[in-house]
């Protein structure tokens, strides 16, 4: 155990923030740490938009599902998969050669790159005493969010991240047992079901404590309810409209 491992094992989402601002120096350090994340072939296919203007945060909070903490946090970071920059700077070198920035593979590369960078940023922010919460809700009305932020073709917002000084002390949400996700040499179909059964009992107890006895829904039932909903089915059409997945 060391300080880094202790910090990682104590991550929790923060949804209430004080009025203390994140400084420009802190923001630059957070993004600098994000940039040191691993990136496929050094393409660095992502951009991040730091939103601090109150009215813009208010609009984004509404579009993200009326999540008030988007408006209340010091800075709202919108993490974008970005192949536009790559397209623009490589075009002079390619001349008449075909270019594949709009391939499915490069969409995967860009989405992976931005996720890795954002997690580095989250760890850096928490090491400074800040709190964060990821906001997938920016994809609820992704076209409107993209227009609001002026995102060009081949750029899409993958998720947002609220950053600020915590004004709450939340409990740790239990994760799946290690043996439910760690397979050795080959994928073990047998172990996952039994491990999730045990986890369901853990999450039932967690929910009872969190809701003061009002909810005991286990994880597998929560996930079943989630999969039964036609969630953000507009994403494929949107990505195609932005020039992704053409090859």
Same domain? 156 vs 53: yes
Q: Return the residue matching tokens 């059964």.
A: 197
Predicted local distance difference test score (pLDDT) of residue 190: 87
Q: How far apart are CA 12 and CA 176, in angstroms?
A: 15
For residues 52 and 163, state if they share a domain.
yes
Name the pTM for this structure.
Answer: 0.95
Claim to verify: residue 167 and residue 182 sit in the same structural domain = no
Whole-number pLDDT of residue 107: 98
The answer to whether residue 159 is domain-embedded is yes
Task: List the structure tokens of 30.
Answer: 């957070």
Identify whether 230 is part of a domain.
no
Q: How confident is the model at residue 244 (pLDDT cuts 50, 70, 90)?
A: very high
Does residue 89 surpass a pLDDT of 90? yes
Q: Which H helix or E strand runs over 143? A: helix 142-149
Q: Report pLDDT digits (tens) over 5-51.
A: 999 999 999 999 999 999 999 999 999 999 999 999 999 999 999 99
- Summarize pLDDT for 108-142 with one digit per residue, the tens: 999 999 999 999 999 999 999 999 999 999 999 99
Q: For 156-181, write each residue's pLDDT tens digit.
A: 999 999 999 999 998 899 999 999 99
51/166 same-domain check: yes
């Amino acid at each position: 155990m060391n300080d880094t491992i202790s910090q990682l094992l104590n991550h929790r989402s923060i949804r209430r923030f004080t009025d203390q601002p994140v400084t420009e120096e802190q923001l630059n350090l957070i993004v600098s740490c994000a940039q040191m994340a691993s990136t496929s072939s050094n393409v660095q296919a992502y951009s991040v938009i730091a939103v601090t203007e109150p009215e813009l945060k208010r609009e984004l909070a509404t579009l993200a599902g009326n999540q008030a903490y988007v408006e209340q946090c010091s800075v709202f970071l919108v993490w974008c998969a970005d192949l536009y920059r790559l397209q623009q700077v490589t075009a002079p070198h390619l001349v008449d050669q075909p270019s594949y920035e709009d391939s499915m593979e490069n969409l995967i590369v860009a989405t992976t790159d931005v996720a890795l960078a954002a997690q580095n940023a989250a760890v850096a922010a928490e090491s400074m005493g800040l709190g964060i919460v990821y906001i997938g809700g920016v994809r609820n009305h992704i076209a409107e969010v993209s227009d609001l932020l002026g995102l060009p073709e081949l750029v899409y917002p993958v998720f947002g991240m609220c950053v600020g000084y915590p004004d709450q002390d939340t409990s740790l949400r239990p994760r799946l047992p290690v043996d439910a996700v760690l397979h050795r040499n080959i994928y073990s179909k047998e172990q996952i079901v039994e491990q999730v059964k045990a986890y369901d009992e853990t999450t039932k107890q967690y929910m009872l404590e969190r809701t003061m006895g009002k909810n005991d829904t286990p994880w597998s039932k929560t996930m079943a309810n989630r999969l039964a909903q036609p969630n953000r089915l507009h994403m494929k059409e949107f990505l195609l409209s932005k020039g992704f997945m053409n090859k």
